[in-house]
Every structure is written in structure tokens, then in C-alpha cells.
Amino acid sequence: MAEDRKIPNHVAIILDGNGRWAKAHNKPRNFGHAEGCKAVEQTVEDAARIGIKYLTVYGFSTENWKRSQEEVGALMKLFRYYAKRLLKIAKANNVRVKMIGERSRFEEDLIVAINRLEDETKDNTGLTFVIAVNYGSRDEIVRGTKKMLTDYKNGKFALDEVDESFFESYLDTAGIPDPDLLIRTSGEQRLSNYLLWQLAYAEFYFTDIYWPDFNKQELDKAIDYYNNRERRFGGRLSN
């Protein structure tokens, strides 16, 4: 059956509520994170099948290092495990994987796994799955600006060349179109330092469900919401 609804080209997700989900089920927080990873995996497959072209999920923020050592350690363990699994899933589903965020803070083996994931899936033509790890929008903008200033100092461009698209080329998301729809679970309604530049014109969808309960039905609800919005860019309706 042909789709008669508009499918957003790029969906960005702030997956939130793993800890509260675990608490509600009398389980440790790390169990909630493990269930959350399963929901991410399922969402990648659903998004690819629906025909979404870009899916960006917030896996670990620059602020999340402030959590307990035990929780950060458990999250790193999960990343390691999923980096391996994701390589298989990406290959099976024609998914191209990309990481945004500052990866040098991770341990060497995890950096190797991330580089490998990107490298071995770079020619896939289906969904582009972007994972934001050790990502913070302000950090991304500062890193990008430093790089731009270094290039300027080295005479690589003239000041006149700097416009929005030039600036964008220094962000981690260079080459990735802006998100059309942002989803945040768990009832929180804030950006938590996520894609501040890129979300300038996205539609926002908030749901009270905790991330581990997110599934295809919930994704469909968000897409229905998106279909009922009249998108405007500076007062002009989009078509």
C-alpha cells in the first residue's frame, strides 16, 4: 500500500526516561539502559522500513559524564556491545552509521569500533543512522569554531566566504540535512544541549512514555503529529 502521509526526511530523538522506566519496574538503572538499547535497535529497523532517510539519536551527552562512575561504566559497556551488534544490523539493513560528538574521550578500543562502524557502512545507501555520543551542541559549536579559526589563520579562506552553510560545514553534522521532527520521550520538554543549530526549524513532539517503551506505534504517532503540523519557514508555508 502506498504511503499517503508525509514521511519526515530526518527524525532526531532525545531518548529519555531509561532510569525512571527501571525504577517503575523495580530494576536497577542499568537494566533500563539495556532495555533502552533494544528500543534503539528496533527504531533503527522501523525507521529504515518506513523510509526515513536520517535518524539521529542522543546516546550520551557531554554532561552525562557527571553521572556516577558505575552508571557511566555500564553505559560504556553497552556502547561496546552495541557497536559490534550494530555493524551486523547496519550491513543487513543497508544502513550507514555516523557518530557525532567528541570521540577522543573514549577508550581506545571503543574509538576503533566507532571508526570501523563508520568506515564499513559508509557506502550503504539506505537510512543514515547518526549516534550522538559525548555530544553537546555547545561543545560542537566551540570545536567547529576553533577549527574554522585555525583554517583562517592558515589563510584557507577569506572572511567574505563565511555564511551559514560555510559555518555548518565545520559542525559534526556537516553534510547531514537539518532534522524535520524532534521527538523527546519521558515528558521532559527541553533540548538538553542537543542540536541547537540544526533544530532551528524542526517540529517538536513530546510524549510521556519512557524510552524503553518506545516502539513502531509510538513512532507512527509522532509521524501523524508531524503530518498535522503546517510547517512554516519565516512565515512561508512549506509544500
Selected range binding ligand IPE among 108-116, 151-159, 186-194, 215-223, rule: CB under 6 A? 186-194
DSSP letter assigned to residue 58 = E
Q: Which of 16, 46, 140, 218 touches Mg ion (CB under 5 A)?
A: 16
Burial of 164 (0-12, 13-18, 19+ CB in 10 A): exposed
- Burial state string for 216-235 with b = 16 or more CB within 10 A and e = fewer than 16: eebbeebbebbeeeebeeee
Q: Catalytic one among 4, 9, 16, 178? A: 16
Contact mark string toward ligand IPE, 197..226, x via CB under 6 A: --------------x---------------
For Mg ion, the closer of residues 90 and 133 by Cβ is: 133
Q: Is the dihedral of CA 182, 100, 71, 83 positive or negative?
A: positive
Candidates 4, 46, 64, 123; catalytic one: 64
Q: Please confirm, yes or no, whether 172 is among the known catalytic residues.
A: no
Shortest distance, position 67 Cβ to Mg ion, whole Å: 10
16 binds ligand IPE (CB under 6 A): yes
Residue 237 pairs with which residues in a beta bridge? Answer: 232
Per-residue binder mask for ligand IPE (CB under 6 A), 32-71, x = binder? ----x---------------------xxxx--x-------
Assigned C-alpha cell, 148: 574554522
- Give one DSSP letter per residue of 140-180, joined into a string: HHHHHHHHHHHHHHTT-S-GGG-SHHHHHTTSTTTTSPPPS
Spatial separation of the C-alpha atoms in residues 168 and 185, rounded to whole Å: 28
Binding partner of 14, given ligand IPE, Mg ion, none, CB within 5-8 angstroms per partner class: ligand IPE
| Of 151 and 188, CB closest to ligand IPE | 188
Which residues are marked as active site?
Answer: 16, 64
Interacting residue ranges for ligand IPE, rule: CB under 6 A: 14-20, 36, 58-61, 64, 75, 186, 188, 190, 192, 211
